[in-house]
Structures are given as C-alpha cells and as structure tokens.
Amino acid sequence: MRGMFRQIRTPIQNLSLAQSDTAVTFGTPERPELVVRTDGRARKIVWLDGNESEVKAEWTNEGLEVVRTLPDGPEIHELYSRLPNATRLIVAVEVTGGNMPRTMQFRRVYDVVPAQPAH
C-alpha cells in the first residue's frame, strides 16, 4: 500500500497533454500515449503510473476533472487547471477510501513548455 501511495504522490516526469473536442491525450517518454475520453463515462484503462483503474474524465468550470478508482479501493480525484496565459499547470489531487484513515490532499505543479514545431 505504501508503494502505491508513493507512486500516486510522485509527479510524472515530462508529462505532455493534448486535447481535442472529445478527449485528452496524456503522454510521457516512458509509456505509450493514453487517450482519455472527456464524456464523464467510466472506462477501465492502465494509467500512466502503471495501475489499472476505472477512469472517468470531464470538463468542469474549474478545469479537467479525472476520477480514478483503483481495484483495491482508493479513489483518486485530479483536477487539472491552468489560468489563461499562465506558465504552470496545477494538478490538485485528493485520495480517499481504501485502507486510508483520512483523505490525503496535495498538489502537483508543472511548468508549461510550449510544443516544439515538427521537423
């Protein structure tokens, strides 16, 4: 259990995001791209941290809300937000359930790097 929480708390290095009208694509150099539909429906997928999860995602007034439910019970709520013209992406994370005695909350902050032009 401790190892799983360490994985959840550890920021994904070199995270890339791309959005379309119906989905957000998450990418890292270490794993294949992960396409998450933003229609609010739950789907089973393997997340970027390697954990199989039931994942649902949708856009809210605050940003992209992703809810992941792991097979052993914990539920991870992530809110991806960025103010217009901001240079940082903020990911507010809340973990509940499972064998946790209380809710765990923390934030990840990513510096936004403009996309490189294709060669």
Which residues touch 99 (CB under 8 Å, ≥6 apart)? Answer: 1, 73
Residues with Cβ within 8 Å of residue 36, at least 6 apart in sequence? 23, 24, 25, 26, 45, 55, 57, 66
Q: What is the pTM of this model?
A: 0.84
Give the CATH number of domain 2-111.
Answer: 2.40.128.20
Statement: residue 119 has pLDDT above 60 = no
What's the mean pLDDT in 8-36? 86
Confidence band, pLDDT 50/70/90 cuts, at residue 72: confident
Higher-pLDDT residue of 84, 78:
78
Residues contacting 27, CB < 8 A, separation 6+: 15, 16, 17, 18, 33, 34
What single-letter DSSP state applies at residue 25?
A: E
Q: For residues 18 and 51, give the distance between their C-alpha atoms in angstroms, rounded to a whole number.
A: 21
Q: What is the dihedral of CA 78, 79, 82, 84, to 10 degrees?
A: 160
Between 114 and 111, the more confident residue is 111
Confidence at 62, pLDDT banded by 50, 70, 90: very high
Q: What is the mean pLDDT of residues 30-59?
A: 91
Could you tell me the residue ranges of all domains in the chain?
2-111
